Structure 1
Amino acid sequence: MKRSVLLFVFLGTVTFPVLGGNQAECPLPFAEIGGHCIYIDSVTAGSWYDMNKYCENLNSHPVKLDDLNLFHDIVVDIKTNHLTNAHYWIGARDEGHEGEWRWTDGSNVRMGTPFWGYVQSISQQPEGQTSQNCAVLDWANFFYFNDHDCNLDRNIICQFN
């Protein structure tokens, strides 16, 4: 895993206003995106397993993108902050149950439109079979989901609960 050293002088929580008058309190380095505490790390990269552990060390997990609004808000944040030249691991895999994509909490991943992008077919389904079992937001495919080899070095998006 490639490591970068980040120094945070202030350790604590930051409160962000959200729609409806509610506020999300996010511990650093997380920021409020779409009413959730999200950390988009465009510097540190590693395998899906290493980056899952990375999120766990931040008391979080790879992001679960089962809500179209959150998906949209994260992609807008990536583009707004010019973090567009990276693939980002998310919390979906089909390892051990080929073709049955699940989030890290065990729930099913929605297939096809609007989450999975067109890659080599028109089916909007992952095609990596047993060699590609982990999902990324694919910068080369407008940040739609794509399946990659879990051992490739990719960045991560963590979600704090």
Structure 2
Amino acid sequence: MAEENVYANVAALSTEQNEGLKDLRVPQKRSKVTVERVALVVLSVLLLAALPALVGVSVRRSCEDESGPMEKTTTAPVVQTCLNRTKLCGVNWIQEGFRCYYLSTTRTHVSWSTGRATCRDMGGDLVKIDSREEQAFLFQTLSVEDEWFWIGLTDSKAEGDWTWTDGSSLNQNLTFWTKERDDWNGSNDKYPEGEDCVLILPVKGKTVEKCWADLYCGLRYRFVCEKEATCNTTA
């Protein structure tokens, strides 16, 4: 009987110890669950923070797929204007609109090439006539002088191929010849190169529609320069 009581007590003690161990393990399980929840919450926050960037990348890729790679935005070059400012030409130049004209003096009679060089030294070139209005303006302005003036038209590179000093071809619908071009070589072949340079003849007996003539480029006459007007920087 005493042995049975001892066994019973040992069994009871063993059972109590096991129950105690179970009680000790319960808090550990709760602690493990709490850590997992915290980790899950932190991961969720990180994903939410990264979501806008992921959406931006997705949209960018979608746009590139539809319209090709996105180009960098570039700023258009600023074009200088003279808004609310005065266009200037300079001393001894005549202004007409946004163009400036220079008439060589009565003492300056030079060859076509020398006249052109002088114009270029002053920032322009021999005049190029672009319209009937410009032709009329020059004819009226120069008629006061009653002299012949070189303009920027020549066929020195190829006979009959008339070009302006800027390299553009003569508009055949905008010509003002006073006579047929014959490339005359002069008496006794005095001008072997022929007549390759053009003058405007605003003199008596000529009209605005018929006042161009081609002559030997080495002859000495006055000339007309042209350039663009520049902005006055002083408002």
* 8 A contact 2:152–2:164 mirrored in 1: yes
Tell me how far apart the structure 2 counterparts of residues 23 and 69 of structure 1 sit (CA, whole Å).
22
Aligned residue identity for 1:73: F
Which of structures 1 and 2 has the bigger CA Rg?
2
Q: Please, which of 50, 66, 85 is the counterpart of residue 114 of structure 2? A: 50
Q: Which residue of 1 aligns with 2:155?
A: 94
Q: Please, which of 100, 115, 119 is the counterpart of residue 175 of structure 2? A: 115
Please identify which structure carries the higher strand content: 1
Q: Which residue of 2 aligns with 1:33?
A: 96
Q: Which residue of 2 aligns with 1:78?
A: 142
Q: Which residue of 1 aligns with 2:214?
A: 147
Please identify which structure carries the higher helix content: 2
Deviation at 1:22, TM superposition (A): 7.8
TM-score where L is the length of structure 2: 0.51
Q: Which residue of 2 aligns with 1:128?
A: 183
- Whether 1:65 aligns to 2:65 is no
- Runs of 4+ aligned structure 1 residues displaced above 4 Å come to none
Tell me how far apart the structure 1 counterparts of residues 104 and 207 of structure 2 sit (CA, whole Å).
18
Aligned residue identity for 2:158: H
Deviation at 1:95, TM superposition (A): 0.3
Q: Which has the higher contact order (CA 8 A, sep 6+)?
A: 1
Uncovered stretches (5+) of structure 1, i.e. residues with no partner: 1-20, 120-124
Q: Call closer, same or farther: CA 1:109–1:42 in 2, change over 3 Å.
A: farther
Deviation at 1:110, TM superposition (A): 2.2
Q: Please, which of 223, 230, 233 is the counterpart of residue 156 of structure 1? A: 223
Deviation at 1:58, TM superposition (A): 1.1
Deviation at 1:109, TM superposition (A): 1.1
* 8 A contact 1:88–1:155 mirrored in 2: yes
* 8 A contact 2:195–2:216 mirrored in 1: yes
Query: Secondary structure of 1:153's match?
Result: coil
Q: Call closer, same or farther: CA 1:103–1:114 in 2, change over 3 Å.
A: closer
Query: Number of paired residues?
Result: 132
Cα RMSD for the two superposed structures: 2.1
Query: Secondary structure of 2:171's match?
Result: coil
* 8 A contact 2:148–2:201 mirrored in 1: yes
* 8 A contact 1:30–1:38 mirrored in 2: yes
* 8 A contact 1:132–1:149 mirrored in 2: yes
Q: Which residue of 2 aligns with 1:4?
A: none
Tell me how far apart the structure 2 counterparts of residues 107 and 56 of structure 1 sit (CA, whole Å).
17
Aligned residue identity for 1:126: R
Aligned residue identity for 1:100: D
Percent identity, aligned pairs only, is 21
Cα-to-partner distance string for 1:23-77 (whole Å, 9 max, x where unaligned): 5311222111354101122421100011111111211100001211111111111
